[in-house]
A and B are shown apart, each in its own frame.
Chain A
Amino acid sequence: DIQMTQSPSSLSASVGDRLTITCRASQSISTFLNWYQQKPGKAPKLLIYAASSLQSGVPSRFSGSGSGADFTLTISSLHPEDFASYYCQQSYRTPRTFGQGTMVEIK
């Protein structure tokens, strides 16, 4: 199975901060990498697919980059509604594994 490792596992940030979360795959997955946001008690929401494509309706302050095994999710300026957990997922091979998640908390 392809292992997905996110860092950091959690972080504290302030409204307006620029934030970067990294995701590393245990092997090359080309650009088959997706990012999700999840708020407590809610279903995950797709933010980025194919490493860098913004899902329809997602604000442009979210962006993704990377290819091969190393990827990043960037939020250019944190809004109050962005405090949540974020998960990467590889869709290169079955099983479709997720990273362990990154919890973004208010500083």
Chain B
Amino acid sequence: EVQLVESGGGSVQPGGSLRLSCAASGFTFNNFEMNWVRQAPGKGLEWVSYISGSGSTINYADSVKGRFTISRDNAKNSLYLQMNSLRAEDTAVYYCARDQESGYDAYDYWGQGTLVTVSS
């Protein structure tokens, strides 16, 4: 059974940092591209970042570029999001999501989400 389990969320002051983790199981992790998607309270979904299976290709939303860093450790079946210089507008539930193998890059499995609150 495919499982994605996020951790690392919490409350942080503006300008602070957090590192999110996503533990994957039930599939061959290094074969799949992965993403972070966030959802601010009461708002819609926003794609944040993408990483290829090998980690060689990475993309970011403009809203987080230069502040967030996505990475993965295929030996540990884990995905990460290092978030620096956090702002109030980064407050959201952060989900990790797997790209399906269809070639259409839909997200077929999602974690349960971890809440990040940025507030003074």
Identify the A interface with B (CB < 8 A): 31-32, 34, 36, 38, 42-46, 49-50, 53, 55, 87, 89, 91, 94-101
Contact = CB atoms under 8 A, between A and B. Distances in A.
Q: DSSP class of A's interface residues: helix, strand, loop or mixed?
A: loop
A59 B12 CA distance: 41
**Chain B interface size, under 10 / 10 to 19 / 20 to 34 / 35 or more:** 20 to 34
Given A43-B111, A43-B112, A32 B44 contact: no
A16 to B, nearest CB: 28
A7 B35 CA distance: 26
Contacts, number: 65
Nearest to A1: B62
A49 B45 contact: no
B68 interface: no
Nearest to B98: A46
A60 B100 CA distance: 20
A55 B37 CA distance: 20
A44 B47 CA distance: 13
Q: Which 8 A-B pairs have the closest CB atoms?
A: A49-B106, A91-B105, A43-B110, A34-B106, A50-B104, A98-B45, A96-B47, A101-B44
Interface of B: 35, 37, 44-47, 50, 59, 61-62, 95, 100, 102, 104-108, 110-113
A42 B104 CA distance: 23
B104 A91 contact: yes
Given A99-B44, A101-B44, 19 more contacts: A32-B104, A32-B105, A36-B45, A36-B107, A44-B110, A46-B106, A49-B104, A49-B106, A50-B102, A53-B102, A53-B104, A89-B107, A91-B105, A95-B59, A96-B35, A96-B47, A97-B47, A98-B44, A101-B45
Nearest to A43: B110
